[in-house]
Chains A and B, each alone.
Chain A
Amino acid sequence: MTEAVRRPGRDPALWATVLVLWALLGLFVLFPLARLSWLAFFEGGRLSLDHVWSILGDPNHRQAFANSVLLAALVGAGGTALGFLFAYTAARAGLGRGWLAALDATTLLPLVSPPFTTAIAMIFSFGPRGLITYHLLGLKGATAYGLPSTLFAETLTYFPIAYLTLRPILAAIDPNVEDMAFSLGSSRWRVFRTVTLPLAVPGFANAFLLLFAASLADFATPLILAGNSFPVLPTQAYLQVTGLLDFKGGAVLSFALLVPAAAIYFLQRYWVGRGAYVTVTGKAGPATLIKSVAPWARWLLLAACAAVAVVIAYLYALLLYASVVMAFGANHALTWRHYHVIFTEGLKAIHDTLIIAGIGMPLGGLFGVLVGYLVARRRFPGRRAMEMVSMINYALPGTIVGIAYLIAFNDPPLALTGTALIIIACYVFRYSPTGIRATVALLQQIDPSIEEASQGLGARSGLTFRRVTLPLIVPAFFAGLGVVFIRSMTAISATIFLVSINWTLITVRILENMTELSLGPAAAFSVLVVAIVFAVMAGISWALRRLETGGGLRVTSILGG
C-alpha cells in the first residue's frame, strides 16, 4: 500500500495496542469458541464424532437445517425486493424532505424494536380469530404459525437492512448516466433494466447476504411463530439445551448453523471486497432533473411504499394499544397500569439494560475504531487474521455465542457468568464489527497522505492517530457506538443465556412476560425500548451534524449490518 503503512518495529505504542487487542479477541472470541468445539467434538478428552452423527442423523434436525436455509433464502429475496422498492423510491421518485423522513422512520421502526414485537402482533392479526383474517376478511381456519407468517414477520423486520444497503448505492449512480441513455432514445423501462439494475447488482448481493445471515441467526421470531410444522435450527439448538438438557447436542446443532453462516460470510466478503472500491470519485456532475421514473410509475412506487408503511404502522399501533388497555382482547378499558408495572417491578431490568448499554456503547465504539484503523492503515503480523477474528462473533448466530459464553466463563479464574461484564463483552465483541467496517470504509475515502505528512514532520503514530486520524473517523466511532447501543437494547438470542440474578435485560423480561400471560407489560416494555432507542439515535444524529466532519457518513447507513 502506501508509506503510511509502517512496520511496527519502531513503534512500541502500536505493538502494545495490537497485543492488548489480541488478548481481548483471544479471550472473548477464540476461547469460548474453542470451549464449545471441545464440548461438541470431544468425549473424555478424545475426538469423538458419535454424538455428532447421532444428532445430524436425526431426520428432524436435518429438516430444521433445510428449513433454516430455505427461510433465510426467502427472507433474503423478499427483503431485498422490498428494500429495493423503498431505496428506489427514495432515490428516484423525487420526494420532498417530509416524505423522505417518513420513509426513514418507517424503516427504522422494525430495525430498532425488540425482535418479537411483530411476532405478537402477527398472532393477534392472522390467527383463526385474527383481527385481519377473521374479523376483516371473514376467513376461517387461518393459521398464524408456520413458514408464511415467519417469513412475513422476518421480512418486515429485516428489509430495512436491504433498504439501508441499497439506498446509498442507488443514490451514488449518477442520474446523468440514466440521462445519457434517455437522450440516446431508450425507453424508461429499458434504462431501468439495462442501466440502473446492473449498476445495483453488487448492492443486491450484499443486501441479500446480510438478510440471509440475519434470518439464519434469528431465534425469537421462529420461537413464537414457526409452530411445529416448520422447525428451524436456532430454535432447535435452544430447545436441545433448555428442553433436553443436552449441551453437547446444542453445541453440535450450533456448529451445523455455523456452516451456512460461514459460507454466507465468505461470500459476502467476496462481494464486498469487490464492491468496496466503488466510491464516488471526482466531483459529482451538475444536478439533473430525474426523468427515469414516469409520473404514473412514481405514484405506483409511492402507493406500494405507503402500503408497506401502513402494515408496519398497524402492527406497532396494535402494540401501543395493547400497552394501554387492561387486558387486550378481554377488557379494553384504558389504563397506565402496565407502565406502572414496568417502572416499579420492571425497573431493575430497565436500569440494568441502560447501564449495560451505556457502558458497552463507548467501549464498542472505541474497539471498532481501533481495530478498523489498525486493519486499514497499519501493517503488522497477523493483520488479516485480526480482521477475520474480530468478525467471528458477528457472523455467528447469537445462540452459539450465548451457549459458548455460558460454558466458557462459568469456572474460576474466568467466572464471569452472573456479572454485567459478560453481557457487555458479548455485546461489544458481537456488535462492534459494524464500527470496524465503518472505520475501514471511511479511511478508504481519506487520503493516507494526510497522515504521512504528520509522520513526515516527526509525529509518532500515537500523536498522529490522536490529532489527525481520530477527528477524521469520528463519524465511524459514533456509528459504531450507535449500533452497539441499539443491539444492547434489542438483542436477545445470545444474552438470554447470560442474564442472571444480578443483571437482567428488558428483552428477556419481554419474552418472560409474553409467556406469563402478561401481555400488557410486554407491550409497554417494547414501546419503552423503541422510545429510548429513537431518542438516542436522534441524539447521535444531532452530535454528528454538530461535528460536521465532512465524512458524510449517515448513522443510518451504517446500521445495515
Chain B
Amino acid sequence: MSRARAGRSRLAAAVLTAVALASPAAAADTLNAYSIWPENWARPMLQEFEKATGIKVNFVRFSSGEALARVIAEKGNPRVDVLFGGPVETFAAGIKEGIFEPYKPPSFNSLPARFKQAEGYWVAIADDPLVFMTNAKFLKEGSLKPPASWEDLLNPAYKAMLQMADARTSGTAVTRIFSIIEVNGRNEDKAFDYMKKLRRNVQVYTKSGGGGTLPVGLGQAGGGIFFIVDALDTKAKGYDVIISFPREGIGTSAEAIALLKGAKNPELGKKLIDWATSPAMQGLYAKHKINFVPANPEVKVEPGLAEVLKGAKIFPIDDAYAGANRKHVVERWINEVLNAKE
C-alpha cells in the first residue's frame, strides 16, 4: 500500500470512529431511561424487564435533583424516554416544567388515588415510608431507647450525632419536612420551631437521601431519618442498626415513573410503564430483597417487611398540599434551619 493510501484509510478509520462517537446509540429495541433508584435496585428490575419483553434498557442513575435538572436541560432534545423511580415530589416539580407526556397504563384504574396523577403525568410503582434509624451501639452507650417520638430526637444525647438529607437536593428531606408539618397539624411555625431545635442535633445534612445511612451504620453518626428501603438495606449489609417509628406518625412517599415528552421511543417507554405499574414487576421486589412497599394493591407486602411495618403509624403526604407549598417550605427551611446561626 502506498503511503498516501495508508494515510487515507487511516483518515477514513478516524472519521468512522468520530461518527460512531458522535452519534448516540440508536438500536431498534432499546429503551433509554434515567433511573433515580440506585443501581442496586434499578439494575435487577430492568434486567427482569428485558427478560420478560426482550426490550433492552439503557439506563444511567442520577439522584432526583440531578435527573430532573438534566431532563429540563434536555427538554428541546430529550435523550431518554422514561424517568424511572424517585419520589413523587420530583415528578410533581417536573409537571410544572412541562417535561412529561401523560400516559395511563392498564393498571391505572385499580390504583388508589394517591398512587397516580389524575391526568396520568406520573404513576406510582412503589411506596416508601420514612423511618428512624439508629446505631445500636450508640444507643447502648448512651443508655437510650430507640426513638419512639419526634420529641425523642431532641434529646441532647443526640447532639451533633444525627444525619439526614438536605432539602435542596433530596426528596427524602422534603418528605421528612412535610411529615413534620403534618404531625404539627399543618402549623408551619410550630413545625419550623421543632426543626430549628432538631438542627442542634444534626451533624450534617447529606446531599442524597441515603447519604447518612453508612455513617449511622459505622457509628460516625448516632441516627437519622431515612426511607425504609435504605434503612433495611443498611441492616441487610450487616450494620447493627435499629429501625423505629414515631408514635405521632411519619410520612410515606410514593415512587413514580413517567414518560417524557418528545421521547424517541414512546412505545417502548409505555411498555416499561405498563410492566412497572403491574404485579409483574412489583411482585419481584421480595425476590431481589428490595424493601419497597408495592403500590399495586394486587401485590402482597413481603412478610418480613410487613413485620417491620406492623403497628407503625404511617400517613401519605398530601401531594396537592405538598405541591402547592413545596417551594416556600424548602426556601424557608434553607433560611431558617439549614443556615440558622447558633
Contact = CB atoms under 8 A, between A and B. Distances in A.
A518 interface: yes
A505 to B, nearest CB: 11
Contacts of B219: 128-129, 329
B77 A502 contact: no
A517 B203 contact: no
A418 interface: yes
Given A327-B237, A501-B34, A60 B339 contact: yes
A244 B233 CA distance: 28
Contact of A515 (B76, B161, B210): B210
B231 to A, nearest CB: 10
Interface stretch (B21-29, B118-126, B248-256, B310-318): B21-29
Interface string A528-552: 0000000000000000000000000
Contact of B338 (A127, A228, A359, A424): A228
Interface string A11-48: 00000000000000000000000000000000000000
A163 to B, nearest CB: 31
B122 to A, nearest CB: 17
B66 A242 contact: yes
A455 interface: no
Given A419-B24, A424-B21, A517-B233, A241 B210 contact: no
Interface stretch (B35-43, B276-284, B290-298): B35-43
Contact of B63 (A128, A145, A416, A515): A515
Contacts of B39: 345, 512, 516
A192 B340 CA distance: 49
Nearest to A226: B204
A245 interface: yes
Given A128-B221, A411-B76, A516-B38, A502 B210 contact: no
Interface string B230-255: 10011001111000000000000000
A420 B65 contact: no
Contacts of A128: 160-161, 203, 219-222
Interface in A465-517: 499-502, 504, 512, 515-517
A223 B79 contact: no
Contacts of B63: 242, 515
A245 B32 contact: no
Contacts of B23: 419
A249 B202 CA distance: 27
A204 interface: no
A223 B207 CA distance: 8
Given A228-B204, A244-B168, A418-B79, A519 B238 contact: no
B214 interface: yes
A145 B203 contact: yes
Contacts of B239: 327, 329-330
A239 interface: yes
A217 to B, nearest CB: 19
Contacts of B224: none
A557 interface: no
Contacts of A416: 22
Given A145-B204, A515-B207, A330 B217 contact: yes
Interface of B: 17-18, 21-25, 32-34, 38-40, 43, 58-61, 63, 65-66, 68-70, 72-74, 76-77, 79-80, 93, 97, 159-161, 166, 168-169, 202-208, 210-211, 213-215, 217-222, 230, 233-234, 237-240, 330, 334, 338-339
A223 B168 CA distance: 13
Contacts of A419: 21-24
A517 B230 contact: yes
A499 B60 contact: yes
Contact of A239 (B25, B160, B169, B222): B169
B97 A243 contact: no
Contact of B24 (A247, A418, A515): A418
A501 B60 contact: yes
A402 to B, nearest CB: 11
Contacts of B18: 421
Given A124-B218, A128-B221, A330 B69 contact: no
A144 interface: yes
Nearest to B241: A330
B40 A406 contact: no
B97 to A, nearest CB: 7
A243 B166 contact: yes
A400 B15 CA distance: 30
A260 interface: no
A241 B69 contact: yes
B213 A517 contact: yes
A410 B73 CA distance: 8
A415 interface: yes
**Across the A-B interface, the 8 shortest Cβ-Cβ residue pairs:** A127-B220, A243-B168, A330-B238, A129-B219, A329-B218, A243-B169, A242-B65, A515-B208
Given A128-B161, A145-B203, A501-B60, A421 B21 contact: yes
28 contacts: A60-B339, A124-B220, A127-B218, A128-B203, A129-B218, A129-B220, A228-B166, A228-B205, A239-B166, A239-B169, A243-B168, A243-B169, A247-B69, A329-B217, A330-B237, A359-B21, A406-B73, A410-B73, A412-B77, A418-B79, A420-B21, A421-B22, A501-B58, A501-B79, A502-B58, A512-B39, A517-B217, A519-B214
A191 interface: no
Given A228-B204, A410-B77, A501-B32, 13 more contacts: A124-B218, A223-B207, A242-B69, A359-B21, A410-B74, A412-B77, A416-B22, A419-B22, A419-B24, A499-B60, A500-B24, A501-B34, A504-B60
The listed residue with most A CB atoms (<10 A of its CB), out of B21, B63, B206, is B21
A353 to B, nearest CB: 14
A241 B71 CA distance: 12
B237 A517 contact: yes
Contact of A141 (B25, B38, B160, B230): B160
A230 B333 CA distance: 17
Nearest to B337: A228
A410 B24 CA distance: 13
Contacts of A518: 38, 40
Given A412-B77, A515-B63, A515-B211, A331 B21 contact: no
B215 A123 contact: yes
Given A329-B218, A516-B38, A502 B25 contact: yes
A415 B65 CA distance: 23
